[in-house]
Structure 1
Amino acid sequence: MYTNASSAALLTLQELGLSNEYVYPAFLFGTLTYMCIMFFNLLLLITIACSAKLHRPMFILLFNLPISDMLGATALFPQLVYSIVTQNRLISLPACFVQAFLVHFYGTGNLLILSAMAYDRYIAICCPLRYNAIMTPLCLVRMIIFIWLLNFSIIGTLFLLLKRLKLCRTNIVDFYCNNPSLLKLTCENTSVNNYYGLIFIVFLQGGSLSIILYTYAQILHTCVLTNQPDARRKAIQTCGTHLTIYLILQINTLATLLAHRFEGVSPLLRRALGVSVLIFPPFLDPIIYGLKTKELNSSVL
């Protein structure tokens, strides 16, 4: 028998399944992971902000990535570690909506930022003589504002469509709140939400992938034609770092979204994929950029 969850104070997140002996090790691991994510990303932000030689379009665009990563990590870890130590998996409906909004805002933001960075690398490598004329400070500001406004518009519309639905269940099927798990709480027709979700996936995932494929095909072509081995090596190293980070996020995100749309997918696998989206990119992004980008590496040291 279903209850009206729209007026209910609390929802129930999926149980973590931790025995008593693993509660405090899990709490410690989650807390340390969150602290490491915040420290590494703050270090990246401070390095870019304080080093004058990094005040270039590539690194100014990169500056937005740790901000997005910290939002994603903060959406998951504080609530998760609190529920681990208290063994309380209840969450209020407003808090659930906020968590879900931040989770999707983070994922969409990262894909948009990485797509903009791919465009920057394309201009820098394929049109070096026109780079300063194209990537002007005004153009850069417009790109950053457009990224965050588009992100807010896409995710805001997603949750406005969700907010109009009346919920009749209270059990979230995932370890944290997200749009697909909240949709499963409603007994109303979700066709509009599903169509918007599909358009959202095609537009965002397909659009960003198209940008990456086109820009990297042009970059690869330019690198093959260049007669300067040092320039070719630097271009491949920079683009390889960016491509690694993009693929980690793209594959994880797409797999998680598709897992919600196919009933045959194991719930355990779906939950593991969902958590990995919020752990691996925020943890690995600053480390990979710090180790693989020469300018950042030398600035930190």
Structure 2
Amino acid sequence: MENYTYNSFMLQLEALNISKDSVYPVFLFFFIAYIFIMFMNAGIACLVCIDKSLHQPMYLLFCNLSLNDILGNSIMVPRLLSDMLRPPSELLISYYECVVQAFTTHMFGAASHTVLMIMTFDRYVAICNPLRYAAIMTNKMMIRLTVSAWGVAFVLVGILLSLTIRLNRCRTVIMNPYCDNASLFKLSCENVFINNVYGLTFTVVLFTASIGSMVLTYTKITVVCLTSNNKSLNNKALKTCSTHLVVYLIMLISGFIVITLHRFPQYSDYRKYCAILFHIIPGSLNPIIYGVQSAEICKSLSKLSRSKSVLPSF
């Protein structure tokens, strides 16, 4: 018979299934990935803020993506690294910390979609309506797009977690190496039908809006490129849109793998690793794909390095 502990404020996390010989190599991999994510995303965000030539809508919107990658990894990965070096019996987390971790985890996933959606709008205006780009993508529009991206994600995730917080808990074991909404509401012995319905609706609405906007936008961009004889426009569209599309596909495929593996309990260990990689892989690749491949950012980095190397002599 299962023992129940009602509304306990200390929860037990489930450890990753790692052999003793593999603990330190896996720890080192995640640690290096975390440092790389923080350094690259913070570096590019600072570079965009410092260099006035990069104060363009595309790069300012990209800062939202860097901020999201920093947010999504800074709460989950350090805790995961410390837990890897502890025995399973000591993997305890307070309920409040668990809720914060779950909120940031889902906020990261939702904002990844909404931020990339507003970046899609920017690319659409730049390629399909270049003459009016400056008039449309004003500072006010930038603020509206940014607030909309984060606001929509915040409201959707806020409702998701609010429905879970209202439940009484009768279990204490989080069946995951970190906290998320599903792990939290599975602690309850109450009816979680509303949670399941909203969670499914949340996922369907977010993915439908995200994929739909991408398909519609890129269809229109393709039509414009095919009907235009402007090689400069076509080259610009190919370069900027292919970069954006690769970033989106990496995020989408990573998310789909995690969602699919949730339906197969026998692959729970694979699901745990994929859920962690959902944070790490996009966060590592985004600054490389979107930042380093940008000619303007490379020029800014080169200019900054030259200015640092030329020191005044006394």
TM-score (norm 2): 0.90
CA shift, 1:264, in A, is: 5.3
| Counterpart contact for 1:76–1:176, Cα < 8 Å | yes
| Counterpart contact for 1:105–1:152, Cα < 8 Å | yes
CA shift, 1:80, in A, is: 0.8
Q: 2:264 and 2:3 mapped to 1: Cα distance?
A: 21
* Other-structure match for 1:270: 271
RMSD: 1.6
* Other-structure match for 1:162: 164
Q: 1:132 and 1:5 mapped to 2: Cα distance?
A: 58
Q: 2:246 and 2:47 mapped to 1: Cα distance?
A: 21
Q: What 5-or-longer segments of structure 2 have no aligned partner?
A: 303-314
Amino acid at match of 2:18: L
Counterparts of residues 1-301 of structure 1 (less than 5 Å): 1-6=2-7, 8-87=8-87, 88-260=90-262, 262-263=263-264, 266-301=267-302
CA shift, 1:219, in A, is: 0.8
* Other-structure match for 2:307: none
Q: 2:300 and 2:20 mapped to 1: Cα distance?
A: 45
Deviations 1:123-180 (A, max 9, x none): 1100111212221111111111122221111111111100011122222222211111
Deviations 1:204-259 (A, max 9, x none): 11101100001111111111122122321121111111111111111211332343
| Counterpart contact for 1:237–1:292, Cα < 8 Å | no
Deviations 1:99-130 (A, max 9, x none): 11101111111110000000110011001112
Q: What 5-or-longer segments of structure 1 have no aligned partner?
A: none
CA shift, 1:28, in A, is: 2.9
Match of 1:247, SS state, is helix
CA shift, 1:65, in A, is: 0.7
Q: 1:18 and 1:252 mapped to 2: Cα distance?
A: 22
Greater gyration radius: 2
CA shift, 1:300, in A, is: 2.0
**Percent identity over the alignment?**
37
| Counterpart contact for 2:258–2:271, Cα < 8 Å | yes
Match of 1:133, SS state, is helix
CA shift, 1:94, in A, is: 1.1
Q: 2:177 and 2:251 mapped to 1: Cα distance?
A: 19
